């Protein structure tokens, strides 16, 4: 616990207090010409072969500076829910998919529009497995995901119902985990985990969105989504986990302030689940200046 930062996060999790060092780039070796005391060849005498440096040599030397390997297992995933839903989540032992048979009642506060829920219940996962998007627990790949930012800014997104009681961002809790946690949980029973885990490069229920559900496909898509730092691909993408996401796979709960942290800890007293609860305001602040007035 000595490396815990002021935000309540472990050192390896807080990018503000513990920024990652820039990857070391290996400089290409410099080819030096060797001096020679030999007399210059006579223009009238016989020509002798002059050794030349191969054009491929600089390219080979430059190849030494390789691009760092992208470890997609370190990618964090985020699931946002209202604090009023936390007690039911703890009682069920995990996050449940919308279409799960184990879901006994609708969330106390559900900001998803009814037509969005119906669309996800009707959108089939690619393949012959008979599954739909609503069979999965959805996760964002960024704490600034577009849908979540619409809640933070109260920007009137058609996918959301923000006139529900308590739809202010600071009343929400963020469940945080990593891709590695998800993969390790499913690799023991199915190396390819078809249908158990999927990744969508946009809104998973949208017809134009590409969804992959094999281990190779998931890895490739995550690498592609993470490769362009100037792209907003991570802000719209989703990682999907079938049926349920056990609480033991959650690395921490993110909250907006001390008041919410204390409320969350009080709710946790009724459960054996004891996650780290971290106050991290930037996750709850709108990226846009435009805010919808009540």
**Which residues are annotated binding-site positions?**
79-81, 96, 120
The count of C-alpha atoms lying within 13 angstroms of the C-alpha of 46, restricted to the half-sphere facing its C-beta, is: 2
Q: Residue 174 has which token pair?
A: 């963020």
CA distance 106 to 110: 8
Nearest to 107 by CA among 56, 45, 63, 171: 171
238 in catalytic set: yes
CA dihedral (76, 77, 82, 88) positive or negative: negative
59 in catalytic set: no
Q: Which residues are annotated as a binding site for NAD(+)?
A: 79-81, 96, 120
Query: Mapping DSSP to helix (H, G, I), strand (E, B) and coil, where does residue 253 land?
Result: strand
Name the catalytic one among 152, 226, 238, 261.
Answer: 238
CA distance 215 to 228: 21
Angle of helix 179-187 versus helix 215-227 axis, rounded to 10: 170
CA distance 188 to 41: 72
The three-state (H, E, C) secondary structure of 213-246, written as one string: CCHHHHHHHHHHHHHCCCCCHHHHCEEEEECEEE
Residues whose CB is less than 8 angstroms from the CB of residue 173 and which lie 6 or more positions away in sequence, other chains included:
80, 81, 82, 83, 86, 253, 254, 255, 260, 264
Q: Residue 2 has which token pair?
A: 């000595």
The CA-CA-CA angle for residues 105, 140, 104, to 5°, reads 10
Catalytic positions, written as ranges: 120, 238
């Amino acid at each position: 616990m000595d490396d815990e930062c002021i935000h309540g996060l472990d050192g390896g999790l807080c990018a503000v207090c513990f920024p990652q060092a820039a990857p070391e780039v290996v400089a290409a070796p410099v080819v030096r010409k060797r001096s020679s005391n030999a007399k210059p060849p006579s223009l009238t005498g016989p020509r002798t072969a002059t050794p030349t440096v191969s054009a491929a040599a600089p390219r080979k030397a430059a190849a030494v500076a390789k691009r760092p390997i992208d470890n997609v297992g370190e990618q964090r995933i985020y699931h946002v829910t209202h604090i009023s839903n936390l007690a039911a989540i703890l009682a069920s032992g995990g996050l449940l998919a919308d279409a799960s048979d184990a879901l006994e009642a609708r969330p106390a506060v559900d900001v998803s529009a009814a037509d969005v829920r119906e669309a996800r219940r009707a959108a089939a996962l690619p393949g012959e497995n008979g599954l739909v998007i609503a069979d999965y627990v959805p996760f964002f790949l960024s704490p600034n995901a577009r849908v979540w930012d619409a809640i933070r800014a109260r920007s009137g997104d058609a996918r959301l119902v923000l006139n529900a009681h308590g739809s202010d961002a600071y009343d929400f809790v963020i469940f945080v985990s990593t891709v590695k946690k998800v993969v390790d949980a499913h690799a023991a029973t199915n190396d390819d985990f078809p249908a158990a885990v999927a990744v969508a490069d946009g809104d998973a229920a949208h017809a134009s969105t590409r969804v992959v559900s094999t281990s190779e496909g998931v890895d490739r898509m995550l690498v592609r989504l993470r490769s362009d730092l100037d792209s907003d691909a991570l802000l719209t993408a989703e990682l999907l986990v079938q049926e349920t996401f056990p609480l033991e796979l959650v690395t921490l709960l993110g909250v907006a302030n001390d008041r919410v942290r204390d409320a969350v800890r009080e709710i946790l007293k009724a459960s054996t689940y004891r996650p780290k609860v971290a106050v991290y305001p930037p996750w709850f602040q709108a990226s846009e200046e435009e805010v919808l007035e009540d």
